[in-house]
Amino acid sequence: MDLLTAPAAWLTVDLISDLHLQASQTATFSLWQDYMAKTPAQAVLILGDLFEVWVGDDAAAQDPFLQSCAQVLQQTAQRAHVAFMPGNRDFLVGPAFLGPCGVQALGDPCLLELGAQRILLSHGDALCLDDKPYQAFRLQARSEAWQHSFLAKPLAERQAFARSLRDLSESQKHEGMGFADADPDMALFWLAQAQSRHMVHGHTHRPADHRLGQAQRQVLSDWSMDHAPRRAQVLRLQRDGASQRLDLV
């Protein structure tokens, strides 16, 4: 488990996830660009699915939209700490992209120590145990052998594969098949392993605060400004223990 210890200068830490940035979603990108330029936080932690799809770092060199995203990250990283945790859509984002952007890579899960607080961070997909087909794919796709084989394929072939997965996801949405929710027993197990009583994750697109006995599980909002209902939230953590959800809409 990764450990991220906030230096004393970090008084405010912003958590965001599930923006699913893509060239066709111009309003969502514009809001994210504006937020990144103006946030007063000393650190912005992105908990996965910043991008709708990622087929390899080499794709960014040929994609003006991804280059625009890189520029936003670079500019923000010059004045604040920016970190990225892989999601289920962009788990192939690697050091060739993050390094030049000045963005720290985070493992999943990651324990954030902010003052006296111990906050367990995750994208959340690994907790959704009821989605058995996805969990089988996740186990395969996160292996070094699968990723090496996939990234060795021509870019066009990787892009076609990504489109097929997106089409499948869209068809499942139209059939009313949403994301499975996080398994509470697994969440409590993770919290116990981390000696924490506070978990924050994304993935499910169901922003809410949940009680788990003496612990709490906070789910981040997805961002969608191009389609109704519009939604974009930031979970802002303070070093003194306070927190608030900021509704950017």
**CATH code at 63?**
3.60.21.10
Q: Which of 120, 113, 114, 119 is nearest to 11 (CA)?
A: 114
Does a cis peptide bond (omega within 30 degrees of 0) precede residue 109? yes
CA 190 – CA 63 distance, rounded (Å): 38
Q: What is the DSSP letter of 70?
A: H
Q: Domain span at residue 33?
A: 2-247
pLDDT band with cut points at 50, 70 and 90 for residue 178: low
- Burial environment of residue 69 by CB neighbours within 10 A (0 to 12, 13 to 18, 19 or more): buried
Q: What is the mean pLDDT of residues 133-145?
A: 96
CA 63 – CA 86 distance, rounded (Å): 20
Q: What does the pLDDT read at residue 179?
A: 72
Q: Which of 99-108, 139-148, 162-171, 214-223 has the lowest mean pLDDT?
A: 162-171
Q: What is the pTM assigned to this prediction? A: 0.96
CA 29 – CA 35 distance, rounded (Å): 10
Q: What does the pLDDT read at residue 165?
A: 83
The three-point CA angle 95-52-56 to 5° equals 35
Is residue 221 pLDDT above 70, yes or no? yes
Q: How many independent structural domains does the chain possess?
A: 1
CA 232 – CA 157 distance, rounded (Å): 33
Does a cis peptide bond (omega within 30 degrees of 0) precede residue 133? no
Q: What does the pLDDT read at residue 176?
A: 53
CA 170 – CA 188 distance, rounded (Å): 31
Q: What is the mean pLDDT of residues 163-175?
A: 73
C-alpha pair distances (Å), 244 with each of 24, 220, 222, 233, 234: 30, 12, 16, 10, 8
Query: What amino acid occupies position 249?
Result: V
Tokens of 181: 């929710």
What backbone phi and psi angles, to 5 degrees, belong to 78? -75, -20
**Stretch (H or E) spanning 223:** none
CA 10 – CA 87 distance, rounded (Å): 25
Q: What is the mean pLDDT of residues 102-126?
A: 98
Q: What is the DSSP letter of 135?
A: H
CA 214 – CA 197 distance, rounded (Å): 7
Q: What is the DSSP letter of 92?
A: T
Tokens of 188: 């409590």
% of the chain at pLDDT higher than 70: 97
Q: What does the pLDDT read at residue 175?
A: 56
- Enumerate the β-bridge partners of residue 224: 231
CB 134 within 8 A of CB 125: yes
Q: What is the DSSP letter of 54?
A: -
